[in-house]
Amino acid sequence: MERDAFLNRVRSSIGEATLPYGPTVDPGPLVPDLPDVDLLARFTEAVEAVSGTVHTDGVTAALNEIVASHGPGRLIAWNDEHLPVDGAVGRLTDAGCEVVSGDVPSDAEGRRNHQADYLDVRYGLTGAEAAFAESGSIVTRSGSGRPRMASLVPLVHIALLPTDQIFRSQMHWLTQPESDLAGAANVVYITGPSRTADIEQQINLGVHGPRELHVILVPA
């Protein structure tokens, strides 16, 4: 249907509608009034409640611990320049991990061939530009050197989060101008590992995305 005809039909229906009275201007966001808490403690508690892990013992110790428990494996990582500390990717390759390129060709054939290589990726290493204490979420943003697949296709997702980027809740982050939700092709709130409760409402982790989520705190 033509756009104008479609919208005209909507317009004339609005004329007939018996909607309860709503505000004439967009009411906009609401920043919730939540009790004051220790942001780091609340965030850690919330991440653990959704089966994630928070590491506070430094990047090197955390990365060593994670690789020790799963063994060396293939890795998709964000470029070092987009991670809040230097040398994180090197730490994993030193531990025996092999880097898989996250640069996907644009043509159909090249794309398929490249992505066929993602089947057995074990680790994903990304930054996190913000976190929400109330829900235990982290925020990742796509862009140059920041493949989306790094937080999606591996079994274990490792995210490096600067401690001064923990906000009280989603609304506290979203209502400040830096949030710029539509400033990239893809912005994701990640709240714990991939899960399903489709079979008898019983929770299972790692159905399509990562089975483990490790948030490593980086002191600001």
Partner 1 sequence: MTEQSTVFIERAGQEVGTAKAEAVGSGARVLIAKRAKAVDAYPAMDAMRDRSREIRLHTLANLDTYLAQFADAVEALGGHVFFAADAAEANQYIRGVADAADAELIVKVKSMVTEEIELNAALEEDGRTVVETDLGEFIIQLADDRPSHIVAPVLHWTRQDVGCLFTAELGVEYTEEPTELNQIARTHLRRIFLNADMGISGVNFATASTGSVTIVTNEGNGRLTTTAPRVHIAVMGMERIVPTPGDLGVMLEVLGRSSTGQALTSYTNTVTGPRREGDPDGPEEFHVVILDNGRSKVLGDEVSEILACIRCGACLNICPVYRVVGGHAYGDIYPGPVGSVLSPVLFGFEDREQLAYACTLCGACLEVCPPRIDLPGMLVKLRNRVVDDGDVFGWLNPAMSAYRFAATKPAVWNGSLRTASLAGRARPGGWFTRLPGPGGAWTSVRDLPRPAVEPFRTWWRRRDGT
* Residue list 115-144, contact with partner 1 (CB under 8 A): 115-116, 118-119, 132, 134-137, 142-144
# residues contacting partner 1 (CB under 8 A): 94
Q: Is 99 in the site for partner 1 (CB under 8 A)?
A: no
Q: Is 220 in the site for partner 1 (CB under 8 A)?
A: no
- If the CB atoms of residues 19 and 220 are measured against partner 1, the closer one turns out to be 19
> Minimum distance from CB of 40 to partner 1 (Å)?
17
**139 contact partners, CB below 8 Å, separation of at least 6:** 128, 129, 130, 131, 132, 173, 187, 188, 189, 190
Q: Which of residues 150-209 bind partner 1 (CB under 8 A)?
A: 152-153, 169-171, 174-175, 179, 181-202, 204, 206-209
Q: Is 36 in the site for partner 1 (CB under 8 A)?
A: no
Tokens of 210: 């990562």
d(CA 50, CA 174) in angstroms, rounded, equals 22
> Minimum distance from CB of 219 to partner 1 (Å)?
26
> Minimum distance from CB of 128 to partner 1 (Å)?
14
DSSP per residue over 70-103, as a string? H-S-EEEE--GGGSSSTTHHHHHHHTT-EE----
> Minimum distance from CB of 71 to partner 1 (Å)?
19
Burial 172-196, CB ≥16 within 10 A → b, else e: bbbeeeebeeeeeeebebbbbbbbe
> Minimum distance from CB of 132 to partner 1 (Å)?
8
